Amino acid sequence: MWLQLSICRRLCFVGILFLIQLGQIHILAQENKPNKDLLQAEAEFQSGNWTKAFKIYQQLAKDNPNSLRAQIGMASCFIEKRDYPYAIDTFLRAIELSPNRPHIQAALASTYFKNKQSNEASKWYQQAIQSSGAKAQLSWYLNLGLIEADLGNFERARQLYNVAVQLYPQSVPAYYNLGIVLLRQNRLDEADACFYATLELNPNFDPALFSRGEVAAKRSNLILAENFYRTAIQLKPEKASYAYAYAQTLLRQGKSQKGKRELQKSRRLKAEKHLRQAHDWAEQENWREARRRLQFAVEADPTFLIAIEDLVYLQAELGDLAGAEATLGVGLLHVPGWAPGYWERGKIRQRRLKLTGAASDFRQAIILSPEAVPPKISMAKLLLETETDLQTALELAQTAAELEPTSEYQKIIVEIQKKLDSLE
């Protein structure tokens, strides 16, 4: 198919630490019976109309600066719009109005974390836990443990997850997160026991199966690791990290051919994930982020032609013709028989006035795909433009018109014929 646009929590080295997000908490405030405007604001929020809801909350806060529900409502709207600094300021105002509400403190902590302010997030999660006493929510321990682990405070994270396991012995994330931290500390027996306990609670929890594979790999029990990885892949086949670890285990056992296949599969899965993210950013018309994700996709798997096509299209639309040409060069280096790539690079080179290179690319595309019309008509137009080898230009245009009879191709034939007649 000739080129067209199809415009797609951090993984640690042993698995994912689960972050439990807090929901919107605007109904926490103990105020008088909500008035009509407040009910309308909450209805708009629940319907996803963040801007409408915010305007109502803002007016309510203006009418009554001490309205806790209005402050929390505004903060929640800011979060939905990813305006985290404003959400933080508004939550701080809510805490001024009601200092001893752990749910608001935890919401502030979550917002700090989203704004990449880990130290502040840690401080407020600790405050929420202290304010709640024995009633602290599981998510607060899990999120605080994640923050401490991100900060490199693994022992502190382990202590928090230990408490979470004791308070919530049926929690899959609590056991799993504890196992991940123990694995990072190289406490393999304890980590494996946590992953085993996780699977006792949920036998199909693929991250725990994968992590048991990681434990086995660290112990150099490659056959056991391979079995765990394979089972995790069966449950979550789209997970690039699973395929990569599986491939490495196969290669370490000397199973080169199968290992290389799995390694290529892991690269493709990673590239597909970046492509999906690029599509999401494109839907939001965030072209810079979409281009960045497409570049990640191509870097992950330079044979992934769909990602290359999308990146080239976007680069060309944004005026980065040199970048588009370079991207096509990467694709052609890894997939030498890619005829549409030669044709597209020829068009880019023609726009950059690199006419000799353009002609060479069109010629190669015709050789690789002799029945394709686009490279033929592009070559014919280039020869007409440069007034070189007009007879070949005419033959190419006539062949293209035979394959796809269109008025455009007939016009090109007429133009070439006129030029030939004028030279006689």
For residue range 200-238, list pLDDT tens digits in order.
Answer: 999 999 999 999 999 999 999 999 999 999 999 999 999
Structure tokens at 336: 């030498």
Q: What is the pLDDT of residue 14?
A: 41
Residue 4's pLDDT band, with cuts at 50, 70 and 90, is very low
Give me the residues paired with residue 15 across strands.
12
Residue 304 one-letter amino acid: F
pLDDT at 407 over 80: yes
Q: What is the pLDDT of residue 37?
A: 86
Residue 118's pLDDT band, with cuts at 50, 70 and 90, is very high
Among 17-26, 43-52, 73-82, 143-152, the minimum mean pLDDT is found in: 17-26
> To the nearest whole number, what is the mean pLDDT of the chain?
91
| C-alpha triplet 364, 370, 376: angle, nearest 5° | 70
End-to-end CA distance of the chain: 40
pLDDT at 15 over 50: no
Higher pLDDT, 27 or 325: 325
> Which string of DSSP letters, residue by residue, matches 301-356?
-TT-HHHHHHHHHHHHHTT-HHHHHHHHHHHHHH-TT-HHHHHHHHHHHHHTT-HH
Q: What is the pLDDT of residue 423?
A: 77
pLDDT at 8 over 70: no
pLDDT at 2 over 80: no
Residue 34's pLDDT band, with cuts at 50, 70 and 90, is low
Domains present along the chain, CATH in parentheses: 36-272 (1.25.40.10), 304-423 (1.25.40.10)
Give the pLDDT mean for 44-71: 91
User: Quick one: three-class SS letters along 40-51?
Assistant: HHHHHHHCCCHH
| C-alpha triplet 405, 410, 412: angle, nearest 5° | 130
Residue 391's pLDDT band, with cuts at 50, 70 and 90, is very high
| Residue pLDDT, tens place only, 318-368 | 999 999 999 999 999 999 999 999 999 999 999 999 999 999 999 999 999
pLDDT at 166 over 90: yes
Give the pLDDT mean for 106-132: 94
Residue 9's pLDDT band, with cuts at 50, 70 and 90, is very low
Higher pLDDT, 379 or 48: 379
Residue 149 one-letter amino acid: A
- What is the residue whose two structure tokens read 């007649």? 421
C-beta separation of 28 from 72 below 8 A: yes
Q: What is the pLDDT of residue 194?
A: 98
Residue 5's pLDDT band, with cuts at 50, 70 and 90, is very low
d(CA 229, CA 217) in angstroms, rounded, equals: 10
> Which string of DSSP letters, residue by residue, matches 57-116?
HHHHHHH-TT-HHHHHHHHHHHHHTT-HHHHHHHHHHHHHHSTT-HHHHHHHHHHHHHTT
Residue 47's pLDDT band, with cuts at 50, 70 and 90, is confident
Q: What is the pLDDT of residue 106?
A: 94
Q: What is the pLDDT of residue 364?
A: 97
d(CA 224, CA 213) in angstroms, rounded, equals: 7
Q: What is the pLDDT of residue 421?
A: 84
Percent of the chain surpassing pLDDT 70: 92
pLDDT at 137 over 80: yes
Residue 28's pLDDT band, with cuts at 50, 70 and 90, is very low
Higher pLDDT, 181 or 388: 181
Give the pLDDT mean for 90-98: 95
